[in-house]
């Protein structure tokens, strides 16, 4: 009888410990620009460059007992083409013509400088994911320059560790909100329209 009790306890303990380890995730977020912009341009050419200036592809961990093995990664190839397309679309909505190259054009250089994900334990039954995206922007036209930093944060509570699909959605949301904040800055359109 004691033997069956010990075996049952060992199986239960193994199940609990296995549940504490979370696998790594490789996300492919799809940032989107939503909203309306005032058209101020008249078709002027603007060289639009979007880049990833983060020092690492790891944005955080999923937490758990073995946090070192539960990294969340976002590779630039997974989101940069979409971010470029959405940025081009927003520039077009402002009345300008985005171009991939051109030294004589106005310049619009957008960089993602930070993307982070923190899994925080609120209490024994619930946790919270805190995400942050930070963009840096440099705009130049006719010898004048403008630069800015734009941050967006997102907090989401959860009980069960979020799936890859849910984390993709959350990262997409924080990237999209950051992009929206970039284009809310009226100084950008003013400088490009000169």
For residue 139, give the 3-state DSSP assignment.
strand
Please compute the mean of the pLDDT values over residues 164-185 and round it to a whole number.
97
Pick the CATH number of 23-193 from 2.40.50.100, 1.10.3720.10, 3.30.160.150, 3.40.50.2020: 3.30.160.150
Q: So what's the pLDDT on residue 165? A: 97
Average model confidence (pLDDT) across the chain:
88
Tens-place pLDDT, residues 54-77:
999 999 998 765 566 789 999 999
- pTM (predicted TM-score): 0.86
Task: Give yes or no for residue 14 having a pLDDT over 50.
Answer: no
Cβ-based neighbours of 5, under 8 Å, separated by 6 or more:
none
Label each residue of 11-77 as H, E or C.
HHHHHHHHHHCCCCEEECCCCCCCCCCCCCCCCCEEEEEEEECCCCCEEEECCCCCHHHCEEEECHH
Domain boundaries, the chain: 23-193
Look up tokens 């078709």; give the residue.
43
Tokens of 20: 């504490």
Tens-place pLDDT, residues 119-173:
988 887 889 999 999 999 999 999 999 999 999 999 999 999 899 999 999 999 9
- DSSP bridge pairs for 115: 133
CA distance 120 to 122: 6
Q: What is the largest CA-CA distance in the chain?
A: 86
CA distance 167 to 22: 14
């Amino acid at each position: 009888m004691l033997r069956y009790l010990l075996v049952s306890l060992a199986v239960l303990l193994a199940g609990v410990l296995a549940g504490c380890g979370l696998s790594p995730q490789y996300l492919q977020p799809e940032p989107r620009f939503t909203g309306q912009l005032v058209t101020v341009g008249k078709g002027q050419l603007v060289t639009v460059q979007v880049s990833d200036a983060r020092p690492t592809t790891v944005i955080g961990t999923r937490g758990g007992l073995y946090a070192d093995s539960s990294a969340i990664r976002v590779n630039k190839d997974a989101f940069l083409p979409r971010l470029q397309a959405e940025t081009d679309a927003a520039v077009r909505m402002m009345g300008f013509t985005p171009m991939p190259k051109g030294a004589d054009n106005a310049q619009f250089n957008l960089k993602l400088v930070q993307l982070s994900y923190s899994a925080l334990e609120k209490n024994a039954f619930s946790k919270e994911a805190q995400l942050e995206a930070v963009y840096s922007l440099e705009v130049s036209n006719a010898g004048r320059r403008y630069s800015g930093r734009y941050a967006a944060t997102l907090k989401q509570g959860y009980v069960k560790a979020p799936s890859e699909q849910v984390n993709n959605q959350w990262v997409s949301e924080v990237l999209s909100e950051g992009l929206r904040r970039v284009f809310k800055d009226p100084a950008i359109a003013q400088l490009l329209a000169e």
